[in-house]
Amino acid sequence: MRNGLILAGALLALVSGGAQAHHSFAAFFDETKLVTIKGKVTAFRFTNPHGTIGVAVVGEDGSTREWRAETNAPVVLMRRGWTRDAIKPGQAITIEGWLARDGKPYMRLRRAFDADGKLIGAAPFTQADD
């Protein structure tokens, strides 16, 4: 696994699509590429149309790559138990999400876990989300 990236191919058929917001999920993200990254939070922005989580991911060769996970709109996150203090820079985090189609280290968050493996928020984001 390079740069801490885990392709979760077996899960692909089970989870399709995240909730849309300002840009088209289907056009922007690949719903067949669900990935998991582990690293340290470098930034957390909690504003619409999407929040973002910056994550520094250290690969097996010791190099660090900066990833960014886009969240659903914070108006949606708030109804799922998120707050603007739900994530803090410096904390360890694991994020699962759908890869951007353009090849950037950019994804749409499905769910995130803190250092203790606890789910952040009340529920993951799936096709049944609002």
Stretch that binds another protein, among 2-10, 56-64, 71-79, 88-96 (CB under 8 A): 71-79
- Selected from 60, 61, 85, 102, the binder of another protein by CB under 8 A is 102
**Residue 54 near residue 40 (C-beta atoms within 8 A):** no
Q: How far is the CB of 81 from another protein (least distance, A)?
A: 14
- Which residues have CB under 8 Å from 35's CB, separation 6+? 5, 6, 7, 8, 96, 97, 98, 99, 107
Report DSSP letters for 16-29, one per residue: ------SS-HHHHE
- Selected from 42, 58, 73, 124, the binder of another protein by CB under 8 A is 73
- Contact footprint for another protein (CB under 8 A): 17-28, 45, 47-50, 52, 54, 66-68, 70, 73, 75-76, 78, 101-106, 127-130
